[in-house]
């Protein structure tokens, strides 16, 4: 955890327990008050490794900001809060918070909590990337099948010949075969009108 850049957003800000505990573990810390704070802009400016929030309860506006942070910057968010209602917990998880700690701001636990949140975030991020890659491959496969069907119908190719023709076209043009399949489909749709 040493060397991490941490943005702490604190609703209470009186004792700065989070800041002190994080600094004790070698983190660079910027602590800001929650009131009227444009967190998205701050994250864009500071580029923290992790965002840690200390709140009474996460408001819808805060949760929406966390969603935007995850969409734009993809970084772990740790939230300490007092609110232990099931509805709030579900909203927090849906927003993409890596760790939601209820009523547990103890300085000796902060390092472990942040480390676990970062590890969990990395694992979830890897799973999301793998899912995205798989979806793209599936979409490319569907496009490839459609393009092969077009070549089979229009050129009288066998399935194997259609595949090799698409592959050769893609290689000659230095593009992925899925992109070539899209081009074939687009051309067929253009000529069918």
Tell me the DSSP string of 41-100: HHHHHH--SEEEEE-SS--HHHHHHHHHHHHHT---EEEEES---HHHHHHHHHHT-SEE
| pLDDT tens, residue by residue, 57-97 | 888 988 999 999 888 888 999 999 988 899 999 999 999 99
Task: Examine the pLDDT at 111 and tell me if it is beyond 90.
Answer: no
Task: Examine the pLDDT at 151 and tell me if it is beyond 60.
Answer: yes
| pLDDT tens, residue by residue, 17-73 | 888 888 888 889 888 887 767 888 888 888 999 999 988 888 898 899 999 988 888
CA distance 100 to 124: 15
Q: Model's pTM, two decimal places? A: 0.74
Complete domains list, the chain, with CATH = 5-105 (3.40.50.2300), 131-191 (1.10.10.10)
Cβ-contact 164, 148 below 8 angstroms: no
Task: Examine the pLDDT at 1 and tell me if it is beyond 60.
Answer: no
- Secondary structure of residue 4 in the 3-state scheme: coil
Helix axes 60-72, 39-46, angle to 10 degrees: 30
Band of pLDDT at residue 14, cut at 50, 70 and 90: low
Of 33 and 135, the one with more pLDDT: 135
Share of the chain above pLDDT 90, in %: 52
Band of pLDDT at residue 184, cut at 50, 70 and 90: very high
The distance from CA 101 to its chain's CA centroid, rounded to whole angstroms, is: 21
Task: Examine the pLDDT at 166 and tell me if it is beyond 90.
Answer: yes
CA distance 167 to 177: 6
**pLDDT given for residue 36 in this prediction:** 63
Of 37 and 123, the one with more pLDDT: 123
Cβ-contact 95, 61 below 8 angstroms: no
**pLDDT given for residue 2 in this prediction:** 61
Which of 118, 91, 95 has the alpha carbon at shortest distance from 5?
118
Of 74 and 130, the one with more pLDDT: 130
CA distance 133 to 188: 27
Which of 166, 132, 129 has the alpha carbon at shortest distance from 146?
166
Which of 124, 62, 50, 51 has the alpha carbon at shortest distance from 88?
62
DSSP state of 190: H
Give me the mean pLDDT over the 92-120 stretch: 88
């Amino acid at each position: 955890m040493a060397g991490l850049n941490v943005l702490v957003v604190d609703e209470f800000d009186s004792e700065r327990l989070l800041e002190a505990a994080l600094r004790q573990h070698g983190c660079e810390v910027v602590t800001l008050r929650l009131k009227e704070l444009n967190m998205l802009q701050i994250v864009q400016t500071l580029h923290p490794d992790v965002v840690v929030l200390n709140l009474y309860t996460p408001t819808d506006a805060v949760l929406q900001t966390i969603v935007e942070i995850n969409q734009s910057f993809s970084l772990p968010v740790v939230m300490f809060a007092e609110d232990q209602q099931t509805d709030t917990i579900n909203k927090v998880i849906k927003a993409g918070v890596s760790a939601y700690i209820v009523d547990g701001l103890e300085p000796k636990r902060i390092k472990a909590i942040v480390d676990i949140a970062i590890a969990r975030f990395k694992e979830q991020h890897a799973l999301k990337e793998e899912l995205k890659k798989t979806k793209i491959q599936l979409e490319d496969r569907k496009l490839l099948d459609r393009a092969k069907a077009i070549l089979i119908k229009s050129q009288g190719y066998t399935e194997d010949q259609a595949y090799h023709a698409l592959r050769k076209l893609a290689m000659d043009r230095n593009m992925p075969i899925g992109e070539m399949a899209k081009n074939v489909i687009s051309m067929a749709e253009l000529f069918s009108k």
